[in-house]
């Protein structure tokens, strides 16, 4: 048997085998956990062969993979013969998610295909998605309007290429399409069914884990929309239902027809209007909260420099908060966040994300990115711990008068425009 050579890893003196052993699949992700005795035998065989770098994580199982490694090392007296690597920073949460378990942080995929300039290279984006899932970030967020359609197609290819379907929670949305230079919002039952069928085909799935109504059709009673979604759940085409940018009253009415698993809303240090009614309503009803744009459309990553770097086709150029008449004022908020981040020895984006995480275990932010290095930085926010005093300080500088300009543009409706007529007014076509 060939001897496995040894190499220096980095410049600090760590010597490892030239090839290691990834242990995740022994306990998680690739189907049911494998027999413990078989896996311990495999680990012992690897070490005796000279493969001594063993890789695990606290999220594999979760926890059971680390326990397996502990048993294997103890049973074989191997501790002095191996280099044991594990990881932290990503956890699963199910608080308020109606039984749907997701990673504590998700990945917003919109910018890979749309909205933030030209579509990014497909191979790079698939590599990013695979990296995210292998890191433990398994809630992937898309929509049929991103592209339109091309973002769902990308996700379908990524899941198929990596054999990732059983390892992710895939969330997509329906209800908004482009029309005559603007947006059309629809929630009538026939449209709902057609949109679902089309998304399933593009995603190459038999069932969608979490299906949101992206925006609320104010001409259709929410009960009519929910009735069709309920049928799709019963048919096995959907597992869970969500709403995006819905008012408190709309959430209540929808939840009365079929349980709402999650409400997606914009929540960040500069978008806090949801805290008055929507967040309390979700918590009263046991509904999870998925926070989109938790970095303020990227503003908390680089502040005003972001605006200078925006390319043609990036819709943020036209958002009121990024316009010259508001940008100087809003930059003051960024500078304060940056100062606190320096004290915490983290980046401004990590601090802004950590603030969202500290809102509760029922909140899952889904920051988007197109670069692996930015993704890794975002995951690092899970390790930033904030004291009550630090939370209060951040909230004091992020009051409503700290931000100028609407958060939305281009005529896209928000939860403030989402109340629907009563069901008694509905006449199905």
Judge residue 109's burial from the number of C-beta atoms within 10 Å of its C-beta, 0-12 exposed, 13-18 middle, 19 or more buried.
buried
**Alpha carbons 365 and 350: distance in angstroms, whole number:** 12
- Check: CB of residue 213 under 8 Å from CB of residue 175: yes
Q: Give the residue carrying structure tokens 């482009």.
A: 178
Strands laid side by side in the 21-22 sheet: 21-22, 53-55, 83-85
Q: Give the residue carrying structure tokens 């220096």.
A: 8
- Check: CB of residue 88 under 8 Å from CB of residue 60: no
Structure tokens at 125: 């984006």
Q: Which helix (H) or strand (E) holds 71?
A: helix 64-76
The pairing of beta strand 238-244 with beta strand 262-266: parallel
Q: Choosing from 116, 146, 191, 292, which is the catalytic residue?
A: 146
Instruction: Give exposure, 30-53, as e/b (b: 16+ Cβ within 10 Å).
Output: eeebeeeeebbeebbebbeebbbb
**Alpha carbons 349 and 334: distance in angstroms, whole number:** 10
CB atoms within 10 A of CB 205: 19
**Alpha carbons 425 and 414: distance in angstroms, whole number:** 23
CB-based contacts of 272, cutoff 8 Å, min separation 6: 398, 400
CB-based contacts of 359, cutoff 8 Å, min separation 6: 267, 279, 289, 291
Asked if residue 249 has a cis previous peptide bond (ω within 30° of 0), the answer is no
**Catalytic site includes residue 146:** yes
Write out the catalytic residue numbers. Answer: 146
């Amino acid at each position: 048997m060939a001897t496995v050579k040894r190499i220096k890893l980095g410049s600090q003196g760590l010597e490892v085998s030239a090839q290691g052993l990834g242990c995740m699949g022994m306990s998680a992700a690739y189907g049911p956990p494998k027999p413990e005795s078989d896996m311990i035998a495999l680990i012992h065989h690897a070490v005796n062969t000279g493969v001594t770098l063993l890789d695990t994580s606290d999220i594999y199982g979760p926890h059971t993979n680390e326990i397996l490694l502990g048993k294997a090392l103890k049973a074989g007296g191997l501790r002095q013969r191996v280099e044991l690597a594990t990881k932290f920073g990503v956890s699963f949460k199910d608080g308020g998610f109606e039984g749907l378990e997701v990673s504590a942080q998700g990945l917003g995929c919109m910018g890979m295909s749309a909205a933030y300039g030209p579509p990014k290279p497909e191979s790079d984006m698939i590599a990013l998605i695979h990296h995210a899932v292998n890191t433990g970030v398994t809630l992937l967020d898309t929509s049929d309007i991103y592209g339109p359609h091309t973002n769902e197609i990308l996700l379908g290819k990524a899941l198929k290429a990596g054999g990732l379907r059983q390892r992710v929670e895939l969330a997509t949305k329906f209800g908004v399409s482009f029309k005559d230079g603007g947006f059309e919002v629809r929630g009538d039952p026939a449209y709902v069914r057609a949109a679902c069928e089309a998304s399933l085909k593009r995603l190459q799935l038999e069932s969608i884990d979490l299906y949101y109504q992206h925006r609320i059709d104010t001409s259709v009673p929410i009960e009519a929309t929910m009735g069709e979604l309920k049928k799709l759940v019963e048919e096995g085409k959907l597992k869970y239902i969500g709403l995006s940018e819905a008012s408190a009253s709309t959430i209540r009415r929808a939840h009365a027809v079929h349980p709402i698993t999650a409400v997606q809303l914009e929540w960040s240090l500069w978008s806090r209007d949801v805290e008055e009614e929507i967040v309390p309503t979700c918590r009263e009803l046991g509904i999870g909260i998925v926070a989109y744009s938790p970095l303020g459309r990227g503003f908390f990553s680089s502040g005003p420099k972001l605006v200078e770097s925006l390319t043609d086709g990036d819709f943020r150029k036209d958002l009121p908060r990024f316009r010259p008449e508001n940008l100087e004022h809003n930059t003051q908020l960024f500078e304060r966040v940056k100062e606190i981040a320096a004290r915490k020895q983290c980046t401004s984006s990590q601090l802004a994300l950590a603030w969202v995480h500290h809102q509760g275990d029922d909140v899952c932010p889904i920051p988007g990115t197109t670069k692996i290095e930015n993704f890794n930085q975002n995951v690092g926010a899970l390790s930033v711990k904030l004291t009550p005093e630090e939370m209060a300080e951040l909230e004091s500088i992020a009051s409503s008068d700290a931000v100028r300009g609407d958060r939305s543009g281009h005529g896209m409706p928000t939860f403030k425009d989402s109340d629907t007529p009563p069901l008694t007014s509905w006449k199905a076509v």
